Amino acid sequence: MSWRTVVISQNAKLDYQIGYLVVRGADTKKIHLDEIGILIVESTSVSLTAYLLSELTKRKIKVVFCDEKRNPSSELVPYYGSHDTSAKIKKQMEWSEHTKEEVWTAIVTEKISKQAELLKRHKKPEAELLYGYIKEIQFGDKSNREGHAAKVYFNALFGKGFTRSEENSINAALNYGYSLILSSVAREIVANGYITQIGIFHDNMFNQFNLASDVMEPFRPLVDEMVVDYDFEIFETEEKHMMLELLQKELLISGKREYFLNAIKIYVRSVLDAINEKDISLIKVYKDEL
């Protein structure tokens, strides 16, 4: 089972050798590809061989490339994630609006529930308001309880004057953490044979990850809590490495303890099954209390 998150943060050459990722820098290190779930190329002074990229793609290892500021900027995505990708995409294009709205309602409900649980753990009285919003959610969230909950939630966590549009260490940390979740979810969507551009709620022509943006929502509070707990005054290289602890986190899902990446795999597959089978009871959600 792949479980490692490998971060290349220094000048190095990466190549492939008999099942191993070989990192040639000041020292030479080898890591078996079967152990790697995500490879993050954090430095722009890293070179990779085409052979390695091909093997990483075959093994469905998520590869994330960062820019000169060490922020995720792109990723390696295979053309086909499954042997029956063409059939899966055809099915995706035929998903009914009713089913998509039903699944989106379930996702929004779970997201707000997770937000309320976080506020409750941090003894924020606004938790009760969010629990009230859950009862008010309409089919397809027509009344936008998600948006109302988000405003209350972020103000409770980071102060009344906080907005998600500001440039500060809190938003930098949130954006970085969310990008890790988005990347992980997108990887599983492609691995299951679907495309990330066609969502169930998000429908932005400039967003290449509409479906991943939909599906990832209940996992956002995991990032939010890390940012609250670390209380970053700055957000630079060391702080980004601290946020990578998210990928090693264990969650309870389907009655078992799973590493974050495997929990994402189980959850994403269950959401896709729920859409195809038109049965939201198939969605498997995680618990953050082991």
State percent of the chain over pLDDT 90.
82
Establish if 58 belongs to a structural domain. yes
Establish if 196 belongs to a structural domain. yes
Query: 96 and 183 share a domain?
Result: yes
pTM (2 d.p.): 0.87
Query: 278 and 151 share a domain?
Result: yes
Q: Which of 116-120, 201-205, 221-225 has the lowest mean pLDDT?
A: 201-205
Query: What pLDDT digit, counting tens, does each position of 209-230 carry?
Result: 999 999 999 999 999 999 999 9
Pick the last residue of a domain from 76, 111, 135: 76
Query: 95 and 67 share a domain?
Result: no
Query: 70 and 90 share a domain?
Result: no
In the chain, the number of structural domains is 2
Pick the last residue of a domain from 18, 43, 76: 76
Query: 118 and 221 share a domain?
Result: yes
Residue 222 CA: distances (Å) to CA of 55, 188, 269: 31, 19, 20
Q: Read off the pLDDT of each residue in 261-278 and give the average, rounded to a whole number.
A: 96
Query: CB of 18 within 8 A of CB of 52?
Result: no
Establish if 244 belongs to a structural domain. yes
Q: What confidence score (pLDDT) does residue 174 get? A: 97
Q: What confidence score (pLDDT) does residue 3 get? A: 72
Query: 257 and 237 share a domain?
Result: yes
Q: What confidence score (pLDDT) does residue 153 get? A: 98
Query: What pLDDT digit, counting tens, does each position of 68-92 carry?
Result: 988 888 888 777 777 889 999 999 9
- Residue 248 binned pLDDT confidence (cut-offs 50, 70, 90): confident
Residue 103 sits at φ, ψ, to 5 deg, of -70, -40
Q: What confidence score (pLDDT) does residue 150 get? A: 96
Query: 251 and 142 share a domain?
Result: yes
Domain containing residue 160: CATH number: 1.20.120.920
Query: 167 and 249 share a domain?
Result: yes
Domain that holds residue 257: 85-282
Establish if 157 belongs to a structural domain. yes
Residue 148 CA: distances (Å) to CA of 108, 112, 132, 152, 189: 12, 10, 11, 7, 28
Average pLDDT, the chain: 93
Pick the last residue of a domain from 76, 104, 134: 76
Residue 289 has pLDDT above 70, yes or no: no
Establish if 290 belongs to a structural domain. no
Rounded-to-integer distance, Cα 268 and Cα 40, Å: 21
Query: What pLDDT digit, counting tens, does each position of 11-45 carry?
Result: 999 999 999 999 999 899 999 999 998 899 999 99
Domain containing residue 64: CATH number: 3.100.10.20
Q: What confidence score (pLDDT) does residue 213 get? A: 96
Query: What pLDDT digit, counting tens, does each position of 47-59 carry?
Result: 999 999 999 999 8
Report the relative pairing of strands 62-66 and 28-32 from DSSP bridges: unpaired
Establish if 288 belongs to a structural domain. no
Query: CB of 247 within 8 A of CB of 5?
Result: yes
Query: 99 and 200 share a domain?
Result: yes
Rounded-to-integer distance, Cα 281 and Cα 279, Å: 5
Establish if 289 belongs to a structural domain. no
- 93, 95, 91, 129: which is closest to 112 by C-alpha? 129
Establish if 114 belongs to a structural domain. yes
Q: What confidence score (pLDDT) does residue 76 get? A: 87
Residue 1 has pLDDT above 60, yes or no: no
Query: What pLDDT digit, counting tens, does each position of 166-195 carry?
Result: 999 999 999 999 999 998 999 899 989 999
Q: What confidence score (pLDDT) does residue 108 get? A: 97
Query: 117 and 238 share a domain?
Result: yes
Query: 51 and 72 share a domain?
Result: yes
Query: 167 and 134 share a domain?
Result: yes
